[in-house]
Chains A and B, each alone.
Chain A
Amino acid sequence: MRFLRWGPLVRQVLLGPGHPGHAQGGGAGAHEAYLRGVSMRAEEVAGKLREALGPKALRLETPTERRVFLTVAVEDLEDAVRAVLGLSREARFMTISAVDEGLDLELLYHVDVGGTVVTVRIKVPKEEMEVLDISHLAPAAEFIEREIRDLFGLEFVGLKPEKLYTPEGYEEKPLKKPMEGALPPQARPMAEALMGSACSVSVSRAVMRKRQDLGLPAMPPMAMAKPEALEEVRSLAEEVGFTERAGYDLEKKRLRYR
């Protein structure tokens, strides 16, 4: 750790009193010995979080031995942060990253747990743009939450109202992207038709009349007539992740964007 080679005053500020790397005489060796004492490997962290959160832990990933990603629902954020901070006396809130994915705002809460970085991941749908403020659990979060609110327009419920970066009266959200999903405009009606009727296009009354003029049945031999088939189309779309990637709301039966 580079900062351990810095002067005693800097170490004192960064590590705080009582830390074995604090003040004079610590050195890299002492810090590593300290880490060995308090650190938890990713698998161990993941195991403890799984135990603490149960089904609220929607996904737990450990891509390296010092990295854990925990995905939870927006409403379980507080429980997840509390569980992560409770893993160790040394757990330290680092920061929050915000990523505008078009339809959702992804928030990544990073916490250092004795050398292993745990990231709690949530996705806030842009239709809601509201999430709980966690500064009562990690006071340092207030600063970055205000920054995210100024730049992306996300409301943190319970956060003090003062702006951080942007001036009073300036209401634009410079880092917020338009609410757009993966499908280009011309493809959207086709996707909605497919999910709504199992066919990419619907039959107009004019075409029905023309079909009858030609001696064809008004309703063509398409898949759309069968409700059970439609159910299969929708569940298949959900299963392979199409509804999420394309931004299709299965309950409202339409895309989340126009």
Chain B
Amino acid sequence: MVETRERVSVAAKAGVFWGCYIPALQPFAEAAFRLILDDLGLSLSDVRGIACCPSPFMFKILDYEYWLETARANLDAIASDFRAIVTLCNGCWDSLLHARDLVENPPEVLHIAEFLIGLRNALLKRIQTPLQNLRVAVHVGCKPRSKPSLVDAIHELTALTGARIVNWRTAKICCGYPLFLAKPDEALETRVRVKVEDVQQVGADAIVVVCPACFMLLERGQLVLRRKGLRQTTPVLHLVELLALALGHKGQEIGLDAHAIKPKALLESIG
């Protein structure tokens, strides 16, 4: 079981706001996080708002007023039932965090990395398969850059798995997802290609992300770019998948076989 002090920090009335992209497009991330929670002996409720967050990658840019008002209504609908809400998505985190100022007695809105870093000792004790053979490039995404402690937490959690974090020149460049909605070709060429080629140049085995939008574009974008001269592809993993692997779960258990870029070589290197 998790240490008492940590158990208090995730006291009752905490829930997970799953958003849309993860449950509807990337269930492997949901499965991985549920496995982590089980391993830690934690049980968090599912939070259902009135709508998805809604996606800041699109609505915050195209219609700020609507985005904020819907996020406010969403948080307002769940405020009385939860004291803390955990999100697995940079977008949900951004939307609900902005809405906090507009809601009376709002719950804490925690990014998945903020939540898990509070459980670092419990996680560390449960590491069964240290991933020391793995070299990973961490892509934090844009939203967490506003909070340096969150960026640190993402890196610390990655390091906690035993994986080696590589330095790469374009780490801070956006994945290109918001640009993709307006100019897909430009996003693929000036963001995805640039970043992936950089990752490959420094010899990373995988790109680790904390956002389903980053995941989607960095993974699917590579498949499109393969037809346009990209020499090789690099698997993309959610941070929770990496953690679940380190906690001893098998790729199939998490659903890694459902990735568009199968991380076969990566799983072999783990053994």
Contacts and interface: CB of A to CB of B under 8 A. Distances in A.
B27 A221 contact: no
B205 interface: no
Contact of A199 (B20, B184, B254): B20
Q: Is the interface of B mostly helix, strand, loop or mixed?
A: helix
A246 B66 CA distance: 10
Contacts of A241: 65-66
A201 interface: yes
A94 interface: no
A183 B50 contact: no
Nearest to B72: A236
Interface string B179-221: 0111010000000000000000000000000000000000000
A200 interface: yes
B181 A200 contact: no
A81 to B, nearest CB: 34
Contacts of A184: 181-182
Contacts of A211: 23, 27, 30
Interface residues of A, number: 39
A152 B180 CA distance: 33
Contacts of A216: 27, 30-31, 34
Interface stretch (B51-59, B152-160, B228-236): B51-59
A221 B181 contact: no
B258 interface: yes
Contacts of B73: 232-233, 236
B6 interface: no
B265 interface: no
Given A186-B182, A220-B24, A222-B23, A199 B258 contact: no
A53 interface: no
B66 A242 contact: yes
B46 interface: yes
Contacts of A204: 24
B23 A190 contact: no
Contacts of B90: none
Contact of A200 (B49, B58, B77, B253): B58
B23 A220 contact: yes
Contact of A182 (B54, B62, B254, B258): B62
B255 interface: yes
A182 B65 CA distance: 14
Given A201-B24, A202-B24, A210-B258, A222 B34 contact: no
Contact of A214 (B24, B28, B70, B181): B28
A7 to B, nearest CB: 55
- Greatest chain A CB density within 10 A among B52, B55, B254 is at B52
B23 A203 contact: yes
A103 to B, nearest CB: 15
B55 A200 contact: yes
Given A210-B27, A221-B48, A187 B62 contact: yes
Contacts of B168: none
B101 interface: no
Interface string A17-40: 000000000000000000000000
A213 B255 contact: yes
A199 B255 contact: no
Given A215-B31, A223-B51, 7 more contacts: A184-B181, A187-B58, A194-B52, A194-B54, A213-B255, A229-B51, A245-B66
Interface of B: 18-21, 23-25, 27-28, 30-31, 34, 46-52, 54-55, 58-59, 62-63, 65-66, 69-70, 73-74, 77, 180-182, 184, 253-255, 258
23 contacts: A183-B62, A186-B182, A187-B182, A190-B55, A194-B51, A198-B50, A199-B51, A200-B58, A203-B24, A207-B24, A207-B27, A213-B255, A214-B27, A215-B31, A220-B18, A221-B18, A222-B48, A223-B48, A226-B48, A226-B50, A229-B50, A237-B66, A239-B69
